[in-house]
Structure 1
Amino acid sequence: MHSLQQSENSNDVPVVLALVTAMLFWGASWISGKIIADMAPAKLTVFYRLALATVSMLPILFFVHKLKLVKLRFSQPAMLWSLPAGLLLAGYNQLFFLGLHDGLPGKGGMLVTTINPIMTFALAAIFNQQKFKTLQMLGMLLGLLGGMMMIEIWRFDHQQVFASGNLFFILAALSWAFLTLVSQRGTQFADFMTFSALMYLWASILSYIFAIEHSPFSSISHYPALYWQHMLFLSVIVVSIATSVFFLANQKIGPSRSSSFIFVVPVTAMGLSVWYFDEAIPLSVAFGGAFALAAVYLINTSKQ
């Protein structure tokens, strides 16, 4: 029994390392997102990001199949699961940008990434009837505390915290939590890369409906090269590769453990903001980041 546990844990190591790397790219995406936020309407940016991610998955799938890196497989139920997954992904992006517009713009990303794992844990307990150990629950509470410290919750009065715009962040986190569970089911019927490509396709179609008022195809030339450079990073690297790795981890180690690594994202974004924007980080925020990383450790150590 002990040797079996050791084997399972050692098999998790490559997935965990890939997931941590993906979270680092997610954190870096905040920098790119902040740079191009005002260059184009948010609905248009969401469509471009998802559409480019869908297109970039085609050569990735081709080379993965050619080099036999991943065994591609697909069955009809995967198509059925990819549709709600795509709708949830599109909804998450739209809600997130609505929150940035009407909620706490500077701390919105941290708010989403803080409550995201909490909601995933709750949904896993309800729908998957998953039971959690004491250390995992402690890790969740520590992650929540760290997130609240990183957004410096004490600086906002109750009217700011409960403003209607912040409801978009809550709904965004809830939609991602549902997406995590749906994708876990969907990847039972397809490999994670094929499922991701289908999901991005549905999300692109729905996002186009939101963006159609801005004439997405005819307005491509209206935006500078800097916008498209960051857009390629946000779509190809962050969505096509990093987000697909998240769904791989979701398939391999489960939604609760994979979602716990989202606590790494605001810490990465915070560190990169110090480097790129020369932002000063208060000591309380730094402690919050340390608590978030400790939460990831506790949640995944308790699994062993």
Structure 2
Amino acid sequence: MRLVFAGTSEPAVPSLCTLLESGRHDVVAVVTRPDAPAGRGRKLLRSPVGAVADEHGIEVLTPQRAGDPDFLARLTELAPDACPVVAYGALLPQRALDIPPHGWVNLHFSLLPAWRGAAPVQAAIRAGDEITGASTFRIVEELDAGPVFGVLTEPIAPTDTAGDLLGRLAVSGAALLRSTMDGIADDALRAVPQEPGGASYAPKVTVADARVAFTDPAAAVDRHIRSMTPEPGAWAEFRGERLKLGPVVPVDGPGLAPGELLVERKQVLAGTATTPVRLGDVQAQGKKRMPATDWARGTRIEQQEHLT
């Protein structure tokens, strides 16, 4: 089939590469978000998906909006049979959805209808789910509500960060997307409507959402921090400044008030609503990431100081 692939961030790269290597499909163009400023110099950088397309000499389309008339006209000229989508990051209007005869086929990193929305991996970890997965479905106007072509499952390990889990799903999901496109090309695959009930939602995670509430139980604090690692990065305030927090470990320990710090020779503990957690790496404003014990020695934490 003739394909126009839509994707932007790193998790979409395995899927694009898998389709390029398939030998069955012709990726005639890539749709990605416009180049964005990055780094201290704020230099415009191509998205990870756009960079891969450039390496393969594939046309790259970067509309500000997927409803832009020039973009829709070019997409019509390209005449794709289907448009696979992974982590594109923009809404698709019905005018765009109507162009390919087999539609836009999204690889979504959850077991739909669970965790529809922009941050399904973070939501699954934060909720304490033991199993998640990925789904391929045909995009409709309602958010992540289209009929499903295929699914795969993936266990969530007790120490998984969002980055760990998303990395595995990006690879296994790429194989699922390829098999979905093969099945559509062979007219051997039919999408099944999602169950009408049981939908849950995972909106985009903001920096404000990443703040740690030490008034929660230790298990919830642990899950929250892992769900925000590496992006946008969990944090709390210490002495009025933001302190980024890497994954923690719930431990049996002395009774501490929520957020109260206890510095010991080989560990730094923070209180929660239940048992303490042992801090891992931390990063103070303007500093490099370092083990919490090194940070505590340099900071000279006083008795009963708190993270808030």
Q: Same fold judged by TM-score > 0.5?
A: no
Using CA pairs below 8 Å that are at least 6 residues apart, which structure has the higher relative contact order?
1
When you count strand as a share of all residues, which structure comes out higher? Answer: 2
Q: Which has the larger radius of gyration?
A: 2
TM-score bracket, normalised by the shorter chain, equals under 0.3
TM-score (norm 2): 0.21
When you count helix as a share of all residues, which structure comes out higher? Answer: 1
